[in-house]
Amino acid sequence: MRTHSVGPLLGVHELDEAASLLRRGGLVAFPTETVYGLGADARNPDAIRRLFAAKGRPADNPLIVHVADITDVPGIVREITPLARTLAARWWPGPLTLVLDADPNLPRITTGGHPTVGVRVPDHPVARRLLELAGVPVAAPSANRSGRPSPTTAEHVLADLGDAVDAIVDGGPCVVGLESTVVDARGDVPVVLREGAVTREHLAAADDAPTPDRAASPGTRYRHYAPTCRVEIAEPADVAQRCATLATQGLRVAALLPSDVPSPAGAVLVVRADDAAETATRLYATFHDAEASGADVLVVAAVLEEGLGRAVMDRLRRAST
Ligand code: TXA
Ligand code: MG
């Protein structure tokens, strides 16, 4: 963990300064357990306008509001439904975003003009301390330019957003590595709008939930999560052959694959991950590293599409199309 500040990078002992920046309408990137977020005071329309501009984010793509505790949710949402209360009791703090009817006083720019708002309590000591110190609800999309992979280190944020932000709190790499599960909690059963680390299996009552509704979670409509190099998905048994074929076409190849698959000959980058959780944790960093390595193509071994594997495959498919 960094303990000094370099340019806009703040060490975790400088959370007072980061909190003060947030209160004054600044843009502060900070770590969560999922990915780094780019925070701004959710109730400050000028700060939120700057946030959308810094990301190049479409104005109709709503932001997730982060709070330190469920007791901070009233005033952001109109009503905490019984379902939301149950899910929050089980999963907060954690990688679960609950979509509820927005409080009429929450600026509509924060909700992308929608009547609902997503809210979550992140499970990261730095994030929660920062939220407590700031004392304001903090809207925080992933701290990347729109369409780019989400950042899982402070360096990713710095490389992608640089001086478009006022500060970056460096809390080291993110543990989960993929964005939170987004669930519509307005009704009687949770409806998954974006897959994440809280899985359908976890949300047992959601077993019969409808297929994710792309129209309902606006962000999932946009091209997303993609590095500048091409991304291909291959079955683990086929990765080596696929890499060899690409290499004969004169392409520089990077690979993310299980450790029992031999390294593809001539690969400019080889990263290992042996299950869905490891793939999730390393996926975005591998996107960034593949770009830096000058690879033309990144081949990623598919994971079993169950549990967290669903979120991994969801992000991979978006990155590869
Ligand atoms: O893990 C995360 O969720 C990270 C960290 C920083 O908390 N944040 C994040 O935010 O991924 P962002 O803005 O990159 O993605 C938010 C997603 C988008 O797909 C957005 O459309 C959806 O959540 N969303 C937010 N509010 C919504 C709402 N009211 N209704 C439906 N979808 C919503
Ligand atoms: Mg994002």
- Dist. CA 270–CA 109, nearest whole Å: 42
Cβ pair 48, 64 in contact under 8 A: no
- Dist. CA 77–CA 81, nearest whole Å: 10
Give the mean pLDDT of 223-246: 91
Partnered with residue 116 across adjacent β-strands are 101
Q: What is the mean pLDDT of the chain?
A: 92
Q: What does pTM read for this prediction?
A: 0.93
Name the residue among 284, 289, 292 with its Cα closest to residue 316. 284
Specify the range with the lowest mean pLDDT, choosing from 152-156, 262-266, 273-277. 262-266
- Dist. CA 286–CA 283, nearest whole Å: 5
pLDDT confidence bin for 1, thresholds 50/70/90 = very low
Give the closest residue (by CA) to ligand 1 atom 21.
Answer: 219
Cα torsion 287, 288, 294, 296 to 10°: value is 20
Give the closest residue (by CA) to ligand 1 atom 32.
Answer: 217
Interval between CA 11 and ligand 1 midpoint (Å):
26
Statement: residue 12 has pLDDT above 60:
yes
CA 119 from chain centre, in angstroms, equals 14
Pocket test of ligand 1: the residue of 130, 217, 225, 308 to mutate, having most ligand atoms within 8 Å of its CB, is 217
Nearest atom (ligand 1) to Cα of 220: 19
The pLDDT, as a whole number, for residue 5 is 43
Interval between CA 194 and ligand 1 midpoint (Å):
8
In this structure, are strands 116-120 and 96-101 parallel, antiparallel, or unpaired? antiparallel
Interval between CA 286 and ligand 2 midpoint (Å):
17
Give the closest residue (by CA) to ligand 1 atom 15.
Answer: 141
Cβ pair 34, 95 in contact under 8 A: yes
Give the mean pLDDT of 304-317: 96
Q: What is the DSSP letter of 233?
A: E
Cβ pair 127, 32 in contact under 8 A: yes
196-232 pLDDT per residue, tens? 999 999 997 554 555 455 555 777 666 677 899 999 9
Give the mean pLDDT of 135-142: 98
Cβ pair 242, 299 in contact under 8 A: yes
Interval between CA 117 and ligand 1 midpoint (Å):
9
The pLDDT, as a whole number, for residue 221 is 65
The pLDDT, as a whole number, for residue 6 is 41
Nearest atom (ligand 1) to Cα of 143: 6
Cβ pair 139, 118 in contact under 8 A: no
Alpha helices (runs of H) in 70-202, residue ranges in sequence order: 82-91, 125-134, 154-161
User: Which amino acid, residue 14?
Assistant: E
169-202 pLDDT per residue, tens? 999 999 999 999 999 999 999 999 999 999 999 9
Instruction: Give percent of the chain above pLDDT 70.
Output: 93
Q: How far is CA 153 from CA 120, 158, 214, in A?
A: 20, 9, 28
In this structure, are strands 191-194 and 230-234 parallel, antiparallel, or unpaired? unpaired
The residue that leads in pLDDT, 11 or 48, is 48
- The token duo for 131 is 């939220």
From the CA of 314, the nearest ligand is: 1
Cβ pair 117, 77 in contact under 8 A: yes
The pLDDT, as a whole number, for residue 319 is 95
pLDDT confidence bin for 11, thresholds 50/70/90 = confident
Interval between CA 35 and ligand 2 midpoint (Å):
9
Pocket test of ligand 1: the residue of 179, 184, 186 to mutate, having most ligand atoms within 8 Å of its CB, is 179
The pLDDT, as a whole number, for residue 4 is 36
50-93 pLDDT per residue, tens? 999 999 999 999 999 999 999 999 999 999 999 999 999 999 99
pLDDT confidence bin for 10, thresholds 50/70/90 = confident
278-304 pLDDT per residue, tens? 999 999 999 999 999 999 999 999 999
Give the mean pLDDT of 144-159: 96
Specify the range with the lowest mean pLDDT, choosing from 12-16, 220-224, 264-268. 220-224
CA 30 from chain centre, in angstroms, equals 12
Q: Under 8 Å CB-to-CB from 278, ≥6 apart: which residues?
A: 272
Interval between CA 61 and ligand 1 midpoint (Å):
8
- Dist. CA 218–CA 47, nearest whole Å: 21
User: Which amino acid, residue 303?
Assistant: V
As for ligand 1, residues whose beta carbon falls within 6 Å of it are 32, 34-35, 37, 61-64, 95, 97, 99, 111, 114, 116-118, 122, 140-142, 179-180, 182, 193-194, 216-220
In this structure, are strands 269-272 and 253-257 parallel, antiparallel, or unpaired? parallel
Nearest atom (ligand 1) to Cα of 57: 13
The pLDDT, as a whole number, for residue 249 is 96
Statement: residue 3 has pLDDT above 50:
no
Instruction: Give percent of the chain above pLDDT 90.
Output: 87
The pLDDT, as a whole number, for residue 61 is 97
Question: How many helical (H) and strand (E) elements, i.e. helices and strands, does the chain have?
Answer: 8, 14
The residue that leads in pLDDT, 11 or 164, is 164
Interval between CA 318 and ligand 2 midpoint (Å):
12
- Dist. CA 167–CA 7, nearest whole Å: 8
**3-class DSSP assignment, residue 15:** helix
Give the closest residue (by CA) to ligand 1 atom 12.
Answer: 141
The pLDDT, as a whole number, for residue 69 is 97
Give the closest residue (by CA) to ligand 1 atom 6.
Answer: 37
Q: What is the DSSP letter of 74?
A: B
Interval between CA 146 and ligand 2 midpoint (Å):
7
